[in-house]
Amino acid sequence: MPLEPLEHKVRGVDHAAFPTFDPVATVRFYRDTLGFPVVHSICAAGWGPEDHPDFIHFFFDIGNDDRIAFFYYFGLEPVHEAPRGDAYAGFGPDTPEFFVRSRHLAIHVDDQDDLLEYRRRLDASSWPVEMQIQHETIESIYTHDPNGYMVEFTRAMRPVTPQEDLDATLTIDALLDVVGAPEPSFGKLLARKAELIVERAAAWELEQSR
Amino acid sequence: MTALYVLDVPENTAVAKVAGQDPDVAVAKLGPYFEITADGAIVVDRRATGCRHAVWYSCVAGVGGGEIVQHDKDALRVEPR
């Protein structure tokens, strides 16, 4: 780790891009159901060394001027026939369900009113909320978009505290130590993290109080 | 000695409180962490903490001098190595 943190100059998500084979349903979902404005699109003739199809690259605003974008390729058929997965990738029976469900986009909302508003919009559509969870720190709703991509809306139940940043730092330092050694395990991570807590936690608190 | 570290955030305070109800267990602060120590085992009853599962299964920050032998819907149990 560098002694002084590198200057943090980035400004959020410009766009995260995904392929779609169903632009109609994609627009119905993001624009007409969720109310995400279409903010940009590119109509591009295929070019390049590969046999690249003509395509439309279109963008929806997901708040904060961040965007989710899609590629629709004319004439391209779905790239897999696996029973599970999404437009981008398919998974067979050997891939555990928790793994298939791990990749998702979580969109932030400010409070419960806003979360429930998106719940209402989804529940009135062809893509109703599949799961709503709430515990001490977050409340979230989940569905899959028409392309099979998992989308979450989430709100924080309380502000993040400074000590959570310290804890995250210690977790990652411990994780790098443990996965850099043979047979990493959760138990080894907790043991290493305990050592780092003893080394650094008191000094961190002193620093905070200055 | 066994040491269990739990980050001091609102949803975790009940874990430290319940752990400390055992007269053989001491609870102190080390920076922003609860340092829960005992010569023997440290046992925390989940239902007594009121923690729901997501918080319960992620409340442990570190374990020194021992290991977790039980962490399920009923209890968290750390025993000396």
Chain A partners of B55 at a C-beta cutoff of 8 Å? 135-137
Q: Determine the residue of chain B that is closest to A162 in CA distance.
A: B32
Run of H or E including A187: helix A186-209
* Cβ under 8 Å to B: A residues 94-123: none
Cβ neighbours, 10 Å, residue A126:
10
- Put simply, the answer to whether B9 touches A191 (Cβ < 8 Å) is no
Can you spell out the DSSP letters for A36-94?
PPEEEEEEE---SSS-PPPEEEEEEE-STT-EEEEEEETTPPPS---SEE-SS-EE-TT
CATH superfamily of B2-80: Monooxygenase component MmoB/DmpM (3.90.56.10)
Q: Determine the residue of chain A that is closest to B3 in CA distance.
A: A194
* A201 contacts A166 by C-beta, under 8 angstroms: yes
- Put simply, the answer to whether B53 touches A135 (Cβ < 8 Å) is yes
From CA B8, how far away is CA A91, in angstroms rounded? Answer: 40
Q: What is the pLDDT of residue A1?
A: 55
Chain B partners of A202 at a C-beta cutoff of 8 Å? 30-31
Q: Which pTM does this prediction carry? A: 0.92
Interface residue A168 vs chain B (CB under 8 A): no
Q: What tokens appear for A136 in the block?
A: 């001490």
CATH superfamily of A16-156: 2,3-Dihydroxybiphenyl 1,2-Dioxygenase, domain 1 (3.10.180.10)
Per-residue pLDDT tens over the stretch B29-67:
999 999 999 999 999 999 999 999 999 999 999 999 999
Interface residue A202 vs chain B (CB under 8 A): yes
Q: What is the pLDDT of residue A136?
A: 86
Rg, C-alpha atoms of chain B: 11
* Domain locations in chain B as residue ranges: 2-80
* Domain locations in chain A as residue ranges: 16-156, 162-209
Closest Cβ–Cβ partner in A167, A194, A196 for B3: A194
- Put simply, the answer to whether A197 touches B54 (Cβ < 8 Å) is no
Burial B22-57 (b: 16+ CB within 10 A, else e): beebbbeebbbbbbbbbeebbbbebeebebeeebbe
Per-residue pLDDT tens over the stretch A150-188:
999 999 999 999 999 999 999 999 999 999 999 999 999
Q: Determine the residue of chain A that is closest to B69 in CA distance.
A: A187
A59 — phi, psi (to 5°)?
A: -125, 140
Q: Determine the residue of chain B that is closest to A194 in CA distance.
A: B62
- Put simply, the answer to whether B62 touches A195 (Cβ < 8 Å) is yes
- Put simply, the answer to whether A187 touches B67 (Cβ < 8 Å) is yes
CA distance, residue B7 to nearest chain A CA (Å)? 7
10-residue averages of pLDDT along chain A (210 residues):
82 97 98 97 86 94 97 96 96 96 97 98 98 93 98 96 96 98 98 98 92
Closest Cβ–Cβ partner in A136, A167, A192 for B7: A167
